[in-house]
Amino acid sequence: MNRPAALWLALGWGGFALLPWYGVEDGFWSLAWLFDYPAGADAAPALLQILLFGRWWLAPMVLPLAAPLLVLRRPRTDPLFSRVLLAAGAVGAVFFLGQGFLIGIGGWEYATLEGLFGPLGDRQFGMGYGALSVAAAFLFLFAQGLAARGAINGDGFVVGSIALVIALVAAFIFFPVVRILASAFQDNDYNFVPYLFVEKLFSHDIWGVGCLTANVNCGIAWNSLLMAILVAASTTVLGLAFALLATRTGFRAKRLLRLLSVLPIITPPFVIGLAIILLFGASGTVTQAIETITGTTPGRYIYGLPGIWLAQTLAFTPIAFLVLIGVVEGVSPSMEEASQTLRAGNWRTFTTVSLPLMRPGLANAFLVGFIESLADFGNPLVLGGNFDVLSTSIFFAIVGAQNDQGRAAVLAIILLAFTLTAFWAQHRWLGHKSYATVTGKGDAGLHVPLPRRVVWLAYGSALPWAGLTAVIYCMIMFGGFVELWGRDHSLTLRHYMDAFSITTGTGGLVWSGAAWNSFWTTIYISLISAPLTAAVGLLTAYLLIRQKFAGQQAFEFGTMLSFAIPGTVIGVGYILAFNVPPIELTGTGIILVICFIFRNMPVGVRAGIAAMTQIDKSLDEASLTLGASSFATVRKVVLPLLRPAVIAALVFSFVRAMTAISAVIFLVSANYDMATSYIIGRVENGDYGLSIAYSSVLIVVMVVVILLIQLVVGERRIGRREDMNVAFGAGGAVG
Amino acid sequence: MNIEGQAAAVRFDGVSKHYGAVVAVDRISFEVQAGDLVTLLGPSGCGKTTTLRLIAGLEMPTSGSVFIGGDDVSRLPASARDVSMVFQSYALFPHMTVFENVSYGLSVSGITKAEIRDRAEDGLKLVGLSGYGERLPSELSGGQQQRVAVARALVLEPTVLLFDEPLSNLDAKLRRQVREEIRELQQSLALTTVYVTHDQEEALAVSDRIIVMRNAEIAQEGAPTELYEAPRDLFVADFIGDANVLDAEMLSRDGGHATIRVGGGMELRLPHRELPVGPVKIAVRPEAVILETSKDESGFTGTVLKSTYVGSHVEYTLDTGLGEIFVADYRFDAPVPAGSRVRIAFRERGVTLLEKQT
Ligand SMILES: Nc1ncnc2c1ncn2[C@@H]1O[C@H](COP(=O)(O)OP(=O)(O)OP(=O)(O)O)[C@@H](O)[C@H]1O
Ligand SMILES: [Mg+2]
């Protein structure tokens, strides 16, 4: 008997005949549904749904579930075996999707079907674990069929993995994006109204240029673009200054620079904005100083463009630094020496040789800054004032008084178009070209000293900036110990008590602090999603690097796409896609976990690709020819050698889950509130003390967890170790 | 316990492998008899590795069928085939000890711990590495790593053992030694083995049979002596040993032989290889050319263009009426200086008719 096929088939039948087909109230794992099982309409498996409740549209799936039973005993080389499995998988998937999407909450989705079958007298519900198992069974039966035909060297595990990743990406990246596109053409009652789309797309408040002539706000799109260009320019310049400082000068505290570059990774982006308010806000330290010196009240000057610019530059300069340090180091000394022997001085060498060689790297840093700025949500929300940008406008279109899904969708499309264009440009120009001049030949030369002017420029811009960053982080760490910033500077633990107090009540300890709820949810969700993200990411990297299959390029594009999709867009997409049956996930913790997995997956993919290209492929092949299945090969050979990448992926997905805000803020619910969205809420209420206290606790927790993960996963035995910073550098991502 | 290969044959039936537009293996058919060591020999890029990987199951044929032990395994993945492979880079798992490496294949096939231990130790003993089990591969010399790789493949008692240029990472001296070890082991265990190399000397030394490949096809197949003494065409003649190709004429055929006339009236008796009477081409091994420095200018003559003393023999380049001829003289008394006139004769054992005239 064919073991894998039999197991998937068993899963399919289990899902069809045993598990509740629809999602059950209180969640599956509460097991409350057992009281109602199996004959209750909520908890009944598909088989009983058909027999007892007349849900005949589930019945056709019996056929593709039954057919493979007939061929299970045949050898897998038998053409009939593969043909039946392929057919069962494909037909099953069609029936499955059919019953899911042709029936909506109001019965038949399409009038023609109503005419054909008569009114349904029933509606769609969110699908549950039964449905999930059956879907998985169809998917993997199909994959087994393909493998039996010899696809991907007849490897069931690999074909199954490819199918799984494709299905997941389709469901959780493409489907939401498509829903956005669709709802851009719909009004709030899901009617198809194309002219609304045109109207919204060209609306004055998006594209208006009134600010050029009169004293009104320009369109949101222009605001976003202007902001992105300013931020990209400033982060690139500062990043270059830091990179030159770190590699080309005798600057002493280089390690400190490295540390500085890791900080933003463990800092929720809006926390910088928060610290800026404490410095420059209406009652900020600097503002008050200006007041006492000049005697005038500067007011809310920081809100709007200046504040966001400052905050984003502070937040994203380290990313530019990480991009550029490799570029600066990559410029081959021999080129510069060649230039010098041709009688060019330091200044000429720098401007005519070094800088042009860095140009592609600079362009890359610029684009990264551009994308980051466009996608950033937290800082504009905290500091925006009247200066509206796309990411925040999307949010307010959905949650605000407007509640206009169509508008949110249109804004999301514009934002997505911007970031995808930048992403595309980045790949087009720089994607696969190696712009470093490291030749593989031992380059023994010495870098030519930088011209004095450049050295002073680098020091002059980098050091004050480093100072500002240090001040900002001091604010974050100690701002929480001050009674009321700007008014009453007496030291207090009040904010920490408010957030994290524990009292002893009747039933033992009571977590009475206001932050505990969101804190534990955040830890819990992040801890669940980190290993899943790492698994999906590394699996994808394995498929990309170690396997060859048709459509690999498209596969790669699809899996990296979520990198280019701003969080707010994903948030809107998830709301639109998963708020209604058949996949009804809003309000659960699952949707948060899924969101994290697919937003952060590219990080795992990159870490995995970087590590796996360094491991000789013949190791895998040796394992295969020694009789190990590819699953065993991955477990025993690939994974142990990938330990640094595993750590990097785990740390990254954990940290990014803890610090994420843009998509999360759409998806949190009363039961599952996350720390970041809780803090943002407090910030909007002006409760800075508690916000900053909570933020500092988050940062400390992340540092501790990172160290713990390092300790648990341990080091690779053969001793070689990759530079963690390299892995971190790979993670420059969209907020 | 004794490690014994359960010998069985490999058969290729019109197998092709395409990588997109690249044809790496083009409709080749051959058989490997049980217990034989067969070498795939050919220039770089001719498809040797690909052929080996097709046997291992690391590639699936684009068309045609692969049989191992009589069963069609064309669609079976590598892990389901009873084949082990020794890689050019050895591919020892760097995070496992020598013992763990050798027992890897056994441990994934669900054998008891005690038996795994016994068989792995046997394997290590066989390659002369008992006592090295606890080391990491990085703590071994190149030759030792090589032997671990062999032991790892051997302990599974595979139907077929595959080697992809197993010696190319070793220095010249070690190469000779390890190659003899491999051959001894293979013969004593009667292992069916397919061996890839592009070194013709290595191929001649270890093989029962050799398959010479060219441009994704099989150029000629046969025992080492057969290939050396009766190459079918210029490519094979030139690839296995050197050869001078000369125009000649077949005067007559009788029985298995033909009378061939080469320039200057020299006549030779060679197996006719089913060729018709008329113009033919012959291949002459450099060491089959005999030079005489007599004053007699009759017969086939030439001028020495270049004369190089290389220790064991002297190499000459001659200018003759039939073009340049390359000569290796192992029985010289004193090297003939350049510029001398010489009379040329051929030793018949080193001359063969080429079946294909190109
Ligand atoms: N994965 C691949 N994709 C595309 N072409 C390939 C691939 N593998 C091999 N080829 C091509 O197939 C042909 C045969 O390759 P193969 O590796 O079998 O050569 P080889 O005889 O082993 O050469 P060498 O002696 O250099 O190892 C070559 O032209 C090679 O470029
Ligand atoms: Mg090769």
Task: Give A46-91 pLDDT, tens digit per residue.
Answer: 998 888 888 888 999 999 999 999 998 888 778 899 999 999 999 9
Is B338 a domain residue? yes
HSE, side-chain direction, 13 A CA sphere, residue B112? 3
A305 contact partners, CB below 8 Å, separation of at least 6: A223, A226, A227, A230, A387
pLDDT in tens, A496-511: 888 888 777 777 777 7
> Are B261 and B344 members of one domain?
yes
B117 and B194 both lie in a single domain = yes
- Is B358 inside a domain boundary? no
Q: What is the mean pLDDT of residues A151-176?
A: 90
Mean pLDDT of the A116-125 span: 81
More confident residue, A503 or A388: A388
Report the percent of chain A where pLDDT is more than 90: 19
B241-244 own/partner pairs: CB under 8 Å, 24+ apart? B241/B200, B241/B285, B242/B285, B242/B286, B242/B326, B242/B328, B243/B283, B243/B284, B243/B285, B243/B286, B244/B283, B244/B284, B244/B285, B244/B286, B244/B289, B244/B325, B244/B326
SS in 3 state form for B312-339? CCEEEEEEECCEEEEEEECCCCCCCCCC
Is B9 within 8 Å of chain A by CB?
A: no
Closest partner residue to B95 (CB to CB) among A622, A628, A640 is A640
At B229, the amino acid letter reads E
What is the DSSP secondary structure assignment for residue B348, as one 8-state letter? G
Mean pLDDT value across residues B334-358? 84
Per-residue pLDDT, B195: 93
> What is the residue with the minimal CA distance to atom 22 of ligand 1?
B49
Note the pLDDT of residue A484: 78
Whether residue B2 lies inside any domain: the answer is no
Mean pLDDT of B137-157: 88
Query: How much is the average pLDDT of A16-30?
Result: 85
Residue percentage of chain B with pLDDT more than 70:
97
> Sheet harboring B83-86: ordered strands across?
B83-86, B160-164, B192-197, B37-41, B209-214, B217-222
Residue A447 is predicted with a pLDDT of 66
In the predicted model, is pLDDT for residue A718 greater than 70? no
Q: What is the CATH number of the domain that holds B268?
A: 2.40.50.140
Interface contact B59-A153, CB threshold 8 A? yes
Tens of pLDDT, residues A303-342: 888 899 999 998 888 888 877 877 777 776 667 777 767 7
**Whole-number pLDDT of residue B357:** 62
Q: How many domains, chain B?
A: 2
Which of B179, B209, B234 lies at the terminal end of a domain, its last residue? B234
Query: Do residues B27 and B145 share a domain?
Result: yes
- Residue B44 belongs to some domain of the structure: yes
pLDDT, one tens digit per residue, over A611-624 is 887 788 889 899 99
A623 contacts in B (CB within 8 Å)?
93, 104
pLDDT, tens digit (0-9, with 9 covering 90-100), for B29-44: 999 999 999 999 999 9
- Please report the pLDDT score of residue A285 as a whole number: 80
Cβ neighbourhood burial of B254 (10 Å; 0-12, 13-18, 19+): exposed
Q: Range with the lowest mean pLDDT among A130-134, A228-232, A469-473?
A: A469-473
Q: What is the mean pLDDT of chain B?
A: 87
The residue-averaged pLDDT of A126-145 equals 93
Give yes or no for B319 touching A (CB within 8 A). Answer: no
Whether the predicted pLDDT of B16 surpasses 90: yes
- Which residue ranges form the domains of chain A, and what is each CATH number? 3-149 (no CATH), 206-486+718-734 (1.10.3720.10), 494-713 (1.10.3720.10)
pLDDT value of residue A539: 92
If you average pLDDT over residues A521-536, what whole number do you get?
Answer: 92
Give the per-residue pLDDT at A210: 67
All residues of chain A having their beta carbon less than 8 Å from the beta carbon of residue B66 are none
Check whether residue B205 and residue B254 sit in a common domain: no
Q: Is the pLDDT of residue A734 over 80?
A: no
Question: What is the distance between the alpha carbons of residues B291 and B326, in angstroms, rounded to a whole number?
Answer: 12
Residue A723 confidence class, pLDDT cut points 50, 70, 90 = very low
- Percent of chain A past pLDDT 70, that is, above it, reads 91
Is B194 within 8 Å of B316 (Cβ atoms)?
no
Given B234, B250, B276, the domain boundary residue is B234
B215 pLDDT more than 60: yes
More confident residue, B307 or A154: B307
Distance, in Å, from the CA atom of B150 to the CA atom of A363, rounded to the nearest integer, reads 51
Q: Which of B234, B251, B284 is the last residue of a domain?
A: B234
Which atom of ligand 1 is least distant from the CA of B53?
18
The whole domain housing B80 covers 10-234
Tell me, yes or no, whether B214 and B319 share the same domain. Answer: no
| Co-location of B110 and B159 in the same domain | yes
Residues B210 and B307 in one domain: no
Between A735 and B353, name the one with better pLDDT.
Answer: B353
pLDDT score for B2: 44
Is there a contact between B79 and A624 if contact means CB atoms under 8 Å apart? yes
Average pLDDT (A481-494) is 79
Between A286 and A172, name the one with better pLDDT: A172
Q: Is residue B57 part of a domain?
A: yes
pLDDT at A11 over 90: yes
Does A389 score more than 50 pLDDT? yes
Q: Decide if B195 is inside a domain.
A: yes
Local structure of A551: helix, strand or coil: coil
The arithmetic mean of pLDDT across residues B326-343, rounded, is: 86
In this prediction, residue A430 carries a pLDDT of: 62
Shared-domain flag, residues B204 and B273:
no
Which of A615, A625, A633 to substitute to test the interface with B, most B CBs within 10 Å?
A625
pLDDT attached to residue A214: 67
Whole-number Å distance, alpha carbon B23 to ligand 2 midpoint, is 15
* Residues B45, B126 within the same domain: yes
Question: Predicted confidence band at B76 (pLDDT cuts at 50, 70, 90)?
Answer: confident
User: Is B4 inside a domain boundary?
Assistant: no
pLDDT the model gives residue A724: 34
Give pLDDT tens digits for B189-211: 888 999 999 888 899 989 999 99
Q: Is a pLDDT exceeding 50 seen at residue A435? A: no
Which residues of chain A are within 8 Å of residue B152 when distances are taken between CB atoms? 622, 626
Higher pLDDT among residues B177 and B2, named by residue: B177
What pLDDT score was predicted for residue A446?
63
Q: Please check whether residue A248 is in contact with residue A328, taking contact to mean a CB–CB distance below 8 angstroms.
A: yes
Identify whether the C-beta of residue A662 lies closer than 8 Å to the C-beta of residue A377: yes
- Average pLDDT score, chain A: 82
Amino acid A179 reads R
Whether B266 and B209 map to the same domain: the answer is: no
CATH number of the domain where residue B208 is located: 3.40.50.300
Q: Taking 80 as the threshold, does the pLDDT of residue A427 lie above it? A: no
DSSP per-residue letters across B212-238: EEETTEEEEEE-HHHHHHS-SSHHHHH
B336 and B266 in a single domain? The answer is yes
Whether pLDDT at B5 is above 60: no
Same domain, B267 and B144: no
Chain-centroid distance, C-alpha A376: 12
Q: Cβ distance B211 to B40 under 8 Å?
A: yes
Distance CA A539, CA A534 (A): 8
Segment A206-218 mean pLDDT: 71
Q: Which of A55-59, A457-461, B100-104 has the lowest mean pLDDT?
A: A457-461
Domain membership of residue B1 (yes or no) is no
- Identify the pLDDT of residue A385: 82
- How far apart are the CA of B49 and the centre of ligand 2, in A? 4
Top pLDDT among B163 and A457 is at B163
pLDDT tens digits, one per residue of A587-614: 888 999 999 999 888 888 888 887 887 7
- Is A154's CB within 8 Å of B76's CB? yes
Angle A393-A397-A399 (CA atoms, 0-180°, nearest 5)? 115
Per-residue pLDDT, A515: 83
